[in-house]
Amino acid sequence: MSTAKSIAGSLRTAHSIALILHQNPDGDVIGSALALERSLPSKKIRIVCVNPVADVFTEALGPFAVESTLLQSANLFVVLDCPDLKRTGFATHLTKLAKNKKLIVIDHHQKGDLAILANEYHHDLTASSTCEMVASVIDELRLPINSSVATALLLGIHTDTGGFQYPNTTSETLKLAARLVRQGADYQRIRQTLGPQRDLKKMRLWGEVLGSVSINSLGIAVARVSKATLAKTSATESDLAGLAKYLCSIEGTKATLVLVETDAGWRGSLRTQSRTFNVGRLAKLLGGSGGRKVAGFLATEELVSDKIDSV
Ligand SMILES: [Mn+2]
């Protein structure tokens, strides 16, 4: 397993670096990439993602460029905040280029198949976020953290700890957050931009969905989002971001399941904050996959009505 020190060494010697964000990029992966890019201005760095980045992140962090094509020309490829090759959106590309280019992973999730493919796998399950790990890498590089880098790192920590509310918030996390604020991170701005959404379509969608949430016999809060609900509220799937986390706050809930109707069937996303509940095992039973805390599956209509309520 690689350390922050060895990752720093690889970054130091590379001239051209591609930072790869996972699909549907969140605050942690975006914060990690921007912190690295802004810490290494003398390198040629490209941030790459198959999906566009939500406006709220440029609002919080200032403008930055994200490319959708992964060029082979870089000499170092870094996958951030993602254990699974498929979730990068560049599975074929990365498999091919890993044969003659250096591929690094920095991640805090349960290990996935990238652990086999990568040349260096920097992994820390106890880190609150990839941003927390990236902060150590920047320290190893002996680079100063300016206010823009500090804000990017704090945004990732804020995202993955639910604003310091989840159990992954350790004394190390709080110590780092305090240091980042001292180094000029604009926490007020992060809270304001990533805080409760003011978007009316999203509110209407959440209203519809929350109105029909049920809790099954296993203590899972189940929310169903049909195509009809999306159409009725003129909202899109991206407006569901944060819903699963919100549902986790229902008293007595062990996990949450958000079912979204798609052309291929019902896509189920499971999430838990519980230390004992394993949603990955449940997803496997339903033909899906994932880790202990976040997992997913695709179900036919039949499965949704027959099994979900009894799981
Ligand atoms: Mn993360």
Q: What is the whole-number distance in angstroms between the Cα of residue 153 and the centre of ligand 1? A: 11
Which residue, 179, 199, 181, is CA-closest to 190?
Answer: 181
Architecture in CATH for domain 4-194: Alpha-Beta Complex (3.90)
R_g (Cα) of the chain, nearest Å: 20
Q: What is the whole-number distance in angstroms between the Cα of residue 302 and the centre of ligand 1? A: 33
Show pLDDT as tens, one digit a residue, over the chain (311 residues): 799 999 999 999 999 999 999 999 999 999 999 999 999 999 999 999 999 999 999 999 999 999 999 988 999 999 999 999 999 999 999 999 999 999 999 999 999 999 999 999 999 999 999 999 999 999 999 999 999 999 999 999 999 998 998 889 999 999 999 999 999 999 999 999 987 666 788 999 999 999 999 999 889 999 999 999 999 999 888 889 889 888 988 988 999 999 999 988 899 999 998 889 999 999 999 899 998 999 999 987 666 655 555 55
Task: Please give the pLDDT value at position 305.
Answer: 55
Q: Are 164 and 173 in contact (CB under 8 A)?
A: yes
Q: What is the whole-number distance in angstroms between the Cα of residue 232 and the centre of ligand 1? A: 32
Task: Please give the pLDDT value at position 310.
Answer: 53
Distance CA 169, CA 74 (A): 35
Query: Angle at CA 119, nearest 5°, toward 118 and 120?
Result: 90
Q: Ligand 1 being an ion, which residues bring their Cβ within 5 A of it? A: 28, 81, 129-130, 160
Tokens encoding 69: 């094509």
Q: What is the whole-number distance in angstroms between the Cα of residue 305 and the centre of ligand 1? A: 32
Task: Please give the pLDDT value at position 308.
Answer: 58
Q: What is the whole-number distance in angstroms between the Cα of residue 130 and the centre of ligand 1? A: 5
Q: What is the whole-number distance in angstroms between the Cα of residue 81 and the centre of ligand 1? A: 5
Fold of 200-310: Diaminopimelate Epimerase; Chain A, domain 1 (3.10.310)
Q: What is the whole-number distance in angstroms between the Cα of residue 78 and the centre of ligand 1? A: 15
Query: Which ranges of the chain would DSSP assign to H, the alpha helix?
Result: 4-13, 27-39, 55-61, 85-88, 91-97, 114-117, 130-140, 147-160, 171-182, 187-194, 200-210, 227-233, 243-247, 279-285, 301-307
Tokens encoding 109: 């999730």
Q: What is the whole-number distance in angstroms between the Cα of residue 307 and the centre of ligand 1? A: 30
Q: Rounded to two decimals, what is the model's pTM?
A: 0.75
Q: CA separation (Å) from 113 to 95, 275, 290?
A: 11, 24, 12
Instruction: Return the residue matching tokens 């990955």.
Output: 280
For the chain, count helices (H), then strands (E).
15, 11
Distance CA 96, CA 106 (A): 20
Task: Please give the pLDDT value at position 261.
Answer: 92
Q: What is the whole-number distance in angstroms between the Cα of residue 129 and the centre of ligand 1? A: 5
SS3 label, residue 141? coil
Q: Are 74 and 101 in contact (CB under 8 A)?
A: yes
Task: Please give the pLDDT value at position 242.
Answer: 83
Q: What is the whole-number distance in angstroms between the Cα of residue 242 and the centre of ligand 1? A: 14
Cα 145 from chain centroid (whole Å): 23
Distance CA 94, CA 105 (A): 12
Q: Hey, what's the torsion of the CAs at 116, 119, 125, 128, to 10 degrees? A: -130
Q: What is the whole-number distance in angstroms between the Cα of residue 28 and the centre of ligand 1? A: 5
Domain boundaries of the chain, sorted by first residue: 4-194, 200-310
Q: What is the whole-number distance in angstroms between the Cα of residue 250 and the centre of ligand 1? A: 23
Q: Are 164 and 29 in contact (CB under 8 A)?
A: no
* DSSP H/E element including 289: strand 289-290
Q: Are 149 and 41 in contact (CB under 8 A)?
A: no
